[in-house]
Amino acid sequence: MNKNEIIQSLEEDLKSVTKLPDLFNVKAKYLGKKGIVTELTSNMKDLSNEEKKEVGKFASEVRMEVTSRLEKVQQEIENQILEEKLTKESIDISLPAKKISRGSRHPFNRIIEDVEDFFVSMGYDVVDGPEIETDENCFQRLNVPIGHPARDAQDTFYIDSEYLLRTQTSSVQARTMQNNQDKTPIRMICPGKVYRRDDDATHSHQFGQVEGLVVDKDISLADLKGTLELFAKKMLGENTKVRFRPSYFPFTEPSVEVDVSCFKCGGTGCALCKQTGWIELLGAGMVHPHVLEMGGYDPKVWTGFAFGTGLDRLAMFRYEIPDIRYLYTNDMRFLKQFDRKDEENEIK
């Protein structure tokens, strides 16, 4: 075959080639060990030098031409494969996006953040204390010595005779006074978890409290009253009325309980407030002189007030949650209700 015939035959073979394996077969037919082009030089050893030169030149020209044609077709097939892959894998940006479910702030955390915002704006520090506490900080330094009847009201999880799970964030009062080496004025709140051996619809063995403590010179009951009135209005709405009832806590004297007008019925009486028009919100009082003394503050120089309230109660009131256990069981059906209600539920 002369060069043209070979190229023509190649072109003919290439016509039916659509896939790479077909192409490799054609390539083998021409350039393989026994291929047409290879065969051109198979009888070189029998040729004269002159002929060798000529045949060699011819074979090399044919090989170049054949190779270049094969490469061209290979390139075409590869381009086509790439093209197909790109179309198949292209992203349709007009499709609606997959819905990603967004987390939301837990009602409990919203309450903590609001309480913190309010008190920080009044110059209070937010402090932390350990949940595993000493009997001394949780009770003794709060005027509740061993054997005191007030211990019965707080069914305590004891770890041993010295350590317990704190039953009240009031323990942080004791810590803060002791830790303040320079005995400077104190303005602090401490939100956190507390533990008691209770378990029913309105009590959980674990719940949240926020404690507040102010120690300074010339602090009076009027300061306490003003602060808590503002706090109640901020948390539960501007129209909230506040009343103070005398009460008893071992670590305050005098002690008060603070009620707020029922924000559901406005004070006329409903199921939430048990027809009284009032809801108990927190305990408070002037820091007992003995407690100040145990904290290293001279009660002749310093006075102070303290208060404590349940964060769960606040969350339950605000979001109308009927069972405290919903706050802790992480049931998605409960938590999902807060997904979009974000700000609208919050009374400012």
Residues between 252 and 281 with contacts to ligand DAH, criterion CB under 6 A:
252
- How many contiguous H segments (helices) and E segments (strands) does the chain have? 11, 9
Q: Does 204 bind ligand DAH (CB under 6 A)?
A: no
Binding segment for ligand DAH (CB under 6 A), chosen from 1-9, 12-20, 117-125, 306-314, is 306-314
**What does the block give as tokens for 159?**
């770890």
Q: Does 156 bind ligand DAH (CB under 6 A)?
A: no
Out of 211, 232, 259, 318, point to the residue binding ligand DAH (CB under 6 A): 211
| DSSP assignment string, 210-273 | EEEEEEETT--HHHHHHHHHHHHHHHH-TT--EEEEEEEETTEEEEEEEEEE-TTTTTS--TTT
Q: Measured from the CB of residue 143, what is the shortest distance to ligand DAH in angstroms? A: 11
| Four-point Cα dihedral 201, 205, 208, 210, nearest 10 | 110
Q: Does 170 bind ligand DAH (CB under 6 A)?
A: yes
What kind and span of H or E run contains 281? strand 278-287
Spatial separation of the C-alpha atoms in residues 244 and 259, rounded to whole Å: 6
Spatial separation of the C-alpha atoms in residues 211 and 11, rounded to whole Å: 92
Q: Does 195 bind ligand DAH (CB under 6 A)?
A: no
Q: Measured from the CB of residue 167, what is the shortest distance to ligand DAH in angstroms? A: 7
Q: Does 129 bind ligand DAH (CB under 6 A)?
A: no
Out of 108, 307, 317, 326, point to the residue binding ligand DAH (CB under 6 A): 307
Q: Does 284 bind ligand DAH (CB under 6 A)?
A: yes
Out of 107, 192, 250, 283, point to the residue binding ligand DAH (CB under 6 A): 283
Spatial separation of the C-alpha atoms in residues 320 and 48, rounded to whole Å: 108
**What does the block give as tokens for 34?**
């026994």
State the number of binding residues for ligand DAH (CB under 6 A): 11
- Contact letters (x/-) for ligand DAH, 222-251, by CB under 6 A? ---------------------------x--
Out of 308, 318, 326, 327, point to the residue binding ligand DAH (CB under 6 A): 308
Measure Cα distances from 63 to 44, 59, 161 in Å.
16, 6, 98
Q: Measured from the CB of residue 152, what is the shortest distance to ligand DAH in angstroms? A: 13
Q: Does 168 bind ligand DAH (CB under 6 A)?
A: yes
Cβ proximity of 289 and 299 under 8 Å:
yes
Q: Measured from the CB of residue 205, what is the shortest distance to ligand DAH in angstroms? A: 14
Cβ within 8 Å of residue 223, ≥6 positions away: 214, 305
Site residues (vs ligand DAH, CB under 6 A):
168, 170, 211, 249, 252, 283-285, 306-308
